[in-house]
Amino acid sequence: MQPLNKRVLITDHGFADVEQEKQILQSAGFELDIAQCKTGDEIAQAAQGASALLVQWAPITREVLEALPDCKLIVRYGIGVDNVDLEAARACGVAVCNVPDYGIDEVADHAVSLALALGRQVFALDKRLRAGVWKPAPVTPMPAYADMTFATAGFGRIGREVLQRARAFKFQLAALDPFVPDEAFVEAGVRRLSLDELFAGADILSLHLPLNAQTRHLVNAARLAQMKPHAILINTARGALIDTPALAQALKTNTIAYAGLDVFEDEPLPPDHPLRDCDNALLTPHFAWYSPKSGPLLQRFAAEEIVRGLRGEALHSQVNR
């Protein structure tokens, strides 16, 4: 990238403060403005003249990009970039970056925590006991961990950390990832699966994929019907990887046994959402990324990427080359 002008806009954020970004950007000689935009029109108005945007959830559509001819760099607070139109950004000459190297341990820990709790039916047994039933037997069929296949859809950084943790509990390990060479699976001692094998063979299936046109609703009614009746589905990646009404129906009819979900198509989860009525779903509020250090690390890495871009230096994590 060529060096650009000095103005940067935070379009929206949910942090306690953005003092770290201010310090990093101002120390590098750049100006920082802060907004809390929710719509494309609000972004287009607030970002006039800005060379770079720091974005959390705000929608960066083709219309927004075309209204901001000065903008040449967008950095998203986080790993996923599904709120940014990458093709439009490329057409407009805008580099889009994410922050892929924060919260990896936290997300892996959360995914495995959900899987372990559901695999031993901790919450279902707790609920039954509190209802007055003392019955030292599983609520649904419950294989031992060593007899279960723990599979990930995605064998990137987080997927590998998840399986490394699962290894300690003696699960059989497997994964799907068409972009990873066979040698990486062999080296990690992880069995490579096709898409059909993934859904039919997993006792625990944890999703670690980006959201795009190919992966949206990857988990749908047909795929859920392929899964084992005692199977557990975990999602700490992107909510729209799952057809949510289909999952709610599969849980209510015991097509699969349990789901542990930290992300949803609609966030916050609406009060009347069908998943709220599924006793066999363990739900957390997009919390997997959290630790006391992960948020500040995300903010620092995002601001430092902005500085690199505005100085004309090589970007670390551009996703739309």
Residues with active-site annotation: 238, 267, 286
Q: Which runs of E-coded beta strand occur in the chain?
A: 7-10, 31-34, 52-55, 73-76, 95-97, 149-153, 172-176, 191-192, 204-207, 232-235, 258-261, 281-283
Residue identified by tokens 């990646």 is 237
CA 297/CA 313 separation, integer angstroms: 21
Do the beta carbons of residue 49 and residue 67 sit within 8 Å? no
What lies within 8 Å, CB to CB, of 253 at 6+ separation is none
From residue 8, alpha-carbon distances to 5, 46, 71, 146 in Å are 9, 11, 9, 52
Q: What angle do CA 225, 251, 81 make, to 5 degrees?
A: 80
Do the beta carbons of residue 37 and residue 13 sit within 8 Å? no
Do the beta carbons of residue 11 and residue 53 sit within 8 Å? yes
